[in-house]
């Protein structure tokens, strides 16, 4: 990952006699591998954490007791089970789309995480238009979910894919509008500059227009990650398992991995946009960033294990008829607020 100051990873690699372009390629490769390893470790931890959170909230005896000390072995057993399961491909399905869909669902979260600054000195790639890149990447899983539903040649999978597209498009619009409110307040598309604007002028969540934007962002994040009460694309009560009904083994695990990876990313992005990023007293910035991110993840898990699933018509009506108008009004409010206050420069 890239370090601030004159001593960068690319410069360190250049000491080995590598030309500038080769050192930069090596830096990008090392950073990409480091982010991937971090993401896999975080997903394993989140699977274990959700098991424990659900056990505490709903008094679930199994997750609270099985798996040895702290239930760690249960997560390991689940991972081994998925790896050993037979990989089945529907005979009448579209083979290539079926094989590619899980990767398209997982990769966007990984691609977006590469641009996330864990602190002022630790970021794989600090893009000047990081917000635009993130918004573009977050739309890609929709394609993978629809591909999975279509390629399975299963009516329940196809309905799940259609629901996924309808729901994600519905909630991505107010989700993006909430992000634009932050861009207006920070006067920048760089995630690093957005955090620095908050270190100078206070967390954005403490401003009334942006507090509303955070609530809209959180609702959009729940829909983006298919979390209750917005898990209609994979509602088992009416769709068996939705778009991944026909998937098993490692390919099903990739859907699972993509969902938790996206959950970590949207929480990390929420921290950068609204909660001051890595800013905080005493501890290093990386620690503050992870503390805030996991606190937001716990909030998301709490919502999941507290509220029931909505009906699909309720989800659509709430998104188009209430959340989107509120988000647009908040965008105007934020712009007026910043003009009145002078903005965060």
Residue 3 lies in a domain: no
> What's the length of the chain?
345
């861009």: which residue's tokens? 183
CB 25 within 8 A of CB 49: no
Residue 48 lies in a domain: no
Domain assignment of residue 225, given as a range: 90-341
Local confidence band at 57 (pLDDT 50, 70, 90 cut-offs): confident
For residue 198, which of 211, 216, 185, 209 has the smallest C-alpha distance? 185
What is the rounded CA–CA span in Å between residue 81 and residue 181?
Answer: 44
Residue 324 lies in a domain: yes
Q: What mean pLDDT is predicted for residues 31-45?
A: 85
Residue 230 lies in a domain: yes
pLDDT of 67 strictly over 80: no
**Residue bearing the bigger pLDDT, 67 or 220:** 220
**Residue bearing the bigger pLDDT, 5 or 11:** 11
Burial of 60 per CB tally in 10 Å (0-12, 13-18, 19+): middle
Q: How many helices (H) and strands (E) does the chain have?
A: 15, 0
What is the tens place of the pLDDT at every residue in 165-220?
888 889 999 999 999 999 999 988 889 999 999 988 889 999 999 999 999 999 99
- Which two tokens mark 51? 């098991």
Residue 249 lies in a domain: yes
Gap between the terminal Cα atoms of the chain: 28
Q: What mean pLDDT is predicted for residues 142-158?
A: 87
What is the tens place of the pLDDT at every residue in 76-91?
888 888 888 888 888 8
Residue 61 lies in a domain: no
Residue 147 lies in a domain: yes
pLDDT for the residue numbered 1 = 45
Highest mean pLDDT pick, 7-11, 96-100, 176-180, 229-233: 176-180
Residue 192 lies in a domain: yes
Q: What mean pLDDT is predicted for residues 110-127?
A: 80
pLDDT of 3 strictly over 80: no
Q: What mean pLDDT is predicted for residues 58-71?
A: 72
Query: Into how many domains does the chain fold?
Result: 1
């Amino acid at each position: 990952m890239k370090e601030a100051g004159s001593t960068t990873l690319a410069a360190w690699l250049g000491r080995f006699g590598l030309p500038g372009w080769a050192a930069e390629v090596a830096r990008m490769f090392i950073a990409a591998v480091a982010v991937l390893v971090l993401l896999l470790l975080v997903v394993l931890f989140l699977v274990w954490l959700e098991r424990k959170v659900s056990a505490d909230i709903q008094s679930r005896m199994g997750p609270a007791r099985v798996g040895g000390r702290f239930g760690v072995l249960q997560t390991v057993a689940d991972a081994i089970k998925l790896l050993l399961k037979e990989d089945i491909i529907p005979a009448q399905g579209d083979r290539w789309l079926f094989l590619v869909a899980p990767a398209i669902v997982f990769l966007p979260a990984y691609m977006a995480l590469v641009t996330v600054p864990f602190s002022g000195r630790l970021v794989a790639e600090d893009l000047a238009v990081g917000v635009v890149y993130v918004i573009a990447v977050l739309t890609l899983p929709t394609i993978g979910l629809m591909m999975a539903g279509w390629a399975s040649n299963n009516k329940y999978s196809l309905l799940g894919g259609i629901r996924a597209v309808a729901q994600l498009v519905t909630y991505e619009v107010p989700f993006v509008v909430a992000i634009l409110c932050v861009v207006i307040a920070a006067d920048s598309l760089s995630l690093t500059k957005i955090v620095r604007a908050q270190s100078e002028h206070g967390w954005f969540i403490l401003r009334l227009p942006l507090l509303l934007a955070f609530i809209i962002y959180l609702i959009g994040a729940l829909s983006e990650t298919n979390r209750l009460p917005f898990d209609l694309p994979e509602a088992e009560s009416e769709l068996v398992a939705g778009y991944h009904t026909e998937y098993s083994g490692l390919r099903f695990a990739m859907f699972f991995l993509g969902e938790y990876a996206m959950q970590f990313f949207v929480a990390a992005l929420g921290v950068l946009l609204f909660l001051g990023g890595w800013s905080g007293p005493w501890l290093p910035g990386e620690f503050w960033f992870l503390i805030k991110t996991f606190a937001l993840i716990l909030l998301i898990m709490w919502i999941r294990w507290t509220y029931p699933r909505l009906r699909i018509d309720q989800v659509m009506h709430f998104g188009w008829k209430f959340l989107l108008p509120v988000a647009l009004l908040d965008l105007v409010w934020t712009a007026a607020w910043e003009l009145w206050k002078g903005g965060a420069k």
